[in-house]
Amino acid sequence: MPKKLSTIFVCNNCGYESSKWLGKCPACSQWNTFFEEKQVNVNTAKIRQNIKNEVVQLNNVVKKETTRIKTGVEELDRVLGGGFVNGSLTLLGGEPGIGKSTLILQICNSIKIEGKIFYVSGEESAEQIKLRADRLEINNEKILFLSETNIDIVQNSIEKYNPQFLIIDSIQTMYSEEITSAPGSVSQVREITARIMQICKQNGITTIIIGHVTKDGSIAGPRVLEHMVDTVLYLEGERYFTYRILRGVKNRFGSTNEIGMFEMEGKGLVEIKNPSKILISERNGNPSGSIITVSLEGTRPLLVELQALTTLSIFGMPRRNSIGIDYNRLTLLMAVLEKKANLQMGNQDVYLNVVGGIKVNEPALDLAIILAVASSYKNTSIKEDVVAIGEVGLTGEVRSINLIDKRIKEAERLRI
Ligand code: TYD
Ligand code: MG
């Protein structure tokens, strides 16, 4: 009897599978992200038969020397732990328009390799990329460009030109004819990634896959392929601010607690070597509601300015609004302030903002949040040279935090 071809519904955001359509994904809580897919039965037993790996004593395994390729962009090299590992597969995710293609094109110019660089774009034509390259003053004879979306053609070209460095921009535009669903769907994205991984690992090509992240989940997010690649980087930032943060989320060859900071300018992304100085540079005097704190991004201390505003609420329900800081944290701290410091927050709207459009999420910022709100409420400024760091517990106590020396040093360095 022929096997019935079954269909399943897959969440485009996280890859959760269900036998029926669902409005909201139970795994990632996104709405309207389920699309129908044909189920492909892969005979894993057969694959396993072909693998002939033997049991070895771990102590006796000879390590292969990992060589790294320096990108020439210091901020990126630090996030990667010293550059791309030769032959590794990296995923660079971020919202559309955040600057992923720009960053990668800049790397193409500064990267220190002997072989060819192969840039495959399914989004832009050669002329468009050339225009951008001219704007970024990129002049590297080693860059080869292909505007193509069919993975078979891409694979043939890669095998023909045998590059050392490969860029796929973006994974959601590529498609394989073997799969019926549209480009950008979970099964296409998975299949293409598996194909690229095979090409990359077989030929020892260092590869970067660019992947878009969308909030509505209309295209498969990079989350569904995070487990397949060696390194995952995300480029973040608010669209209307020029700062961009590059974060390592997964790294098989190093730590994930480093960040890189960039600023989007007319000539592409410029590295910010001293982010603390820039983030607090626009502080004007010391108005009420403003305070400086030190957040730790990875191992890097970052001075940020918090601003709070409290106003009398005109509705029965007071509003709480936070940008750059977890909303739940703010409401929790407001409750502590009300009960433990006897400030009447129940009839106050509270707004909180992290200057510069960056996101900081650390309990070490609690004390600064509380002080900023209290300062605005009492309309009293906090002295300009005060830096507040500390976690605040539910009973109102201030707790110690990690790496305090490092934070103090950074504050001293900028003479706050
Ligand atoms: P892009 O790299 O195309 O984003 P992504 O690949 O993540 O979708 O960046 C696009 C934005 O960056 C675009 O809105 C214009 C801006 N930009 C600059 O401000 N300066 C520049 O030099 C370049 C190349 C782009
Ligand atoms: Mg792009």
Statement: 1-39 belongs to CATH 3.20.20: no
Q: Are strands 165-169 and 117-121 parallel, antiparallel or unpaired?
A: parallel
Ligand 1 neighbourhood includes 138 CB (under 6 angstroms) = no
Ligand 1 neighbourhood includes 96 CB (under 6 angstroms) = yes
Task: Give the residue, out of 92, 100, 101, 102, with the most ligand 1 atoms within 8 A of its beta carbon, to mutate for a pocket test.
Answer: 102
CB 351, CB 321: distance < 8 Å: yes
Ligand 1 neighbourhood includes 239 CB (under 6 angstroms) = no
Ligand 1 neighbourhood includes 94 CB (under 6 angstroms) = yes
Give the mean pLDDT per block of 10 residues along the chain (416 residues).
67 85 89 78 54 80 83 91 92 91 93 91 92 90 93 93 93 88 84 91 92 71 82 86 87 84 90 83 84 86 92 89 93 93 91 88 93 95 91 94 90 77
CA dihedral 147, 188, 25, 252 (to 10 degrees): -80
The residue whose C-alpha atom lies closest to atom 25 belonging to ligand 1 is 268
Architecture of domain 277-413: 2-Layer Sandwich (3.30)
Please compute, for residue 390, the number of CA atoms within 13 A of its CA located in the half-sphere on the CB side: 14
Tell me which H or E stretch contains 151. Answer: helix 151-161
Query: What class has domain 68-273?
Result: alpha beta
Counting ligands in written order, the one closest to the CA of 96 is 1
Counting ligands in written order, the one closest to the CA of 93 is 1
3-state secondary structure of 372: helix
CB 294, CB 389: distance < 8 Å: yes
- Domain map (residue ranges) of the chain: 1-39, 68-273, 277-413
Ligand 1 neighbourhood includes 22 CB (under 6 angstroms) = no
Ligand 1 neighbourhood includes 135 CB (under 6 angstroms) = yes
Query: What is the residue-wise DSSP string for 316-372?
Result: SS--EEEESS-HHHHHHHHHHHHHHS----TTEEEEEEETTS-----GGGHHHHHHH
Rounded (10°) angle between helices 151-161 and 186-203: 10
The residue whose C-alpha atom lies closest to atom 11 belonging to ligand 1 is 97
Q: Which amino acid is at 195?
A: R
End-to-end CA distance of the chain: 77
Q: For residue 217, what pLDDT is reported? A: 55
Distance CA 89, CA 80 (A): 12
202: its two tokens: 């077989």
Q: Where are the beta strands (DSSP E) in 165-217?
A: 165-169, 206-212
Ligand 1 neighbourhood includes 173 CB (under 6 angstroms) = no
Q: For residue 163, what pLDDT is reported? A: 94
- Quote the DSSP letter at residue 242: S
CA of 97 relative to ligand 2 center, distance in Å:
7
Distance CA 196, CA 89 (A): 9
- Residue whose C-alpha is closest to residue 181's, from 304, 49, 8, 44: 8
- Residue whose C-alpha is closest to residue 35's, from 187, 151, 156: 187
The residue whose C-alpha atom lies closest to atom 2 belonging to ligand 1 is 99
Q: Which amino acid is at 35?
A: F
